[in-house]
A and B are shown apart, each in its own frame.
Chain A
């Protein structure tokens, strides 16, 4: 498999050149174009927990991921994948350390990559966004997507990121959730929301823009839904 990321950094699209008998997983809806003979199927991946209650809880929490699997079959195949929002795509080669990815930051991955929904109960409450996290392990390629540009931070010590701006981080980083500044009132009213305070040594991937913020800017002027 070979890949090429085109039209970076604002309107990135991934061009995947698959060998025969290869597979590619992607978030549902990411397919832009593909060779005619590619077999595509979609599954619903859900968070941990079982039974009816587990299912209900997951639906309420919004932790579900529709994944498409693309199989090249007997011949080489071409596949173009793009995220929903304008921004960048970053290819990341998974290491044994593992990666935690924000749900909207996941675009695609190769079959050896394991995706688990939910990570240590991490959630984003006050910023009003239903962000959930993917616990990614295994081996292979992960394509990360962002709203805006992606910038990498080599954390060595302590680094603070607004939760809406985190795309992914390596699992060896420890973190705490907290408020950004000195005032809880400001966090509620002032739009700062929650931040993740990372400690240790590892890589962190951030996006320059917050989809929730832009959404609220436009959405606040749209008529309310009935």
Chain B
């Protein structure tokens, strides 16, 4: 499989080429264009009930598409995301996993498995949801975000705005707290923030859809 992420960072798009016999799984709706000979099979993500779980609790699409090159030559495939921003390619080793925000997942290849896991009440209070979408390697994973993506190592703790969190290592713990004092939190507009503790990686997006929604809301006629 050959790939190139073009039009970074605002309109990052995956230009891929699958070799004969190769297959790739991607979120429904992510296909922009592809060679006519490419086979695309739509299925419930992981089976009917796991798919329902992923849709209602994990915030992902009910369906996934598997692209399969059953021809004898390399076939082109262009995958994209609904949002405007960057795409990251992550190579997961066996046993290594990452949790993704709803909507961030784009595609995966190899033995990557997708599960919905209980995230805990603290995660729910932080606005991250009761459940998290966990992807475990080995394999290749592509995910995207709204805006540019920054990778940070958490060693000890880090305070993040939940609207800007894209992905994080599952072992990190979340704790919500006020941004400042009570008055400070309200007046600064930051409100509640997420204190992440432990050792791991997080990915942040430079813009938040919530921020855009708040900007647009008073302007909707």
Contact = CB atoms under 8 A, between A and B. Distances in A.
Interface of A: prevailing SS? mixed
A161 interface: yes
B94 to A, nearest CB: 30
B35 A87 contact: no
Contact of A213 (B11, B42, B63, B82): B82
A182 B41 contact: yes
A9 B12 CA distance: 11
Contacts of A182: 40-42
B42 A190 contact: yes
Interface stretch (B24-32, B134-142, B166-174, B197-205): B24-32
A167 to B, nearest CB: 11
Contacts of B81: 209
Interface in A176-226: 180-183, 186, 189-193, 197-199, 206-210, 213-214, 216-218, 221-223, 225
Interface in A119-168: 148-149, 151, 153, 157-162, 165
B33 A161 contact: yes
B212 to A, nearest CB: 6
Contacts of A213: 29, 82
A94 interface: no
B212 A160 contact: no
Nearest to A226: B221
Given A148-B13, A192-B29, A218-B212, A180 B61 contact: no
B93 interface: no
B63 A10 contact: no
A86 interface: yes
B10 A192 contact: no
B69 to A, nearest CB: 14
A184 to B, nearest CB: 10
A198 B83 CA distance: 26
Contact of A186 (B28, B33, B38, B221): B28
Nearest to B146: A217
Contacts of A223: 217, 220
A176 to B, nearest CB: 11
A222 B29 contact: no
Contacts of A218: 209, 212-213, 216
Interface string A69-101: 000000000000000001100000000000000
Nearest to A197: B36
A159 B31 CA distance: 12
A199 B80 CA distance: 23
B42 A192 contact: yes
A209 to B, nearest CB: 6
B32 A214 contact: no
12 contacts: A149-B11, A151-B15, A158-B37, A160-B33, A186-B42, A191-B29, A192-B29, A192-B65, A197-B36, A206-B33, A210-B80, A221-B210
Given A151-B13, A217-B209, 6 more contacts: A148-B11, A157-B35, A183-B63, A186-B65, A191-B61, A209-B13
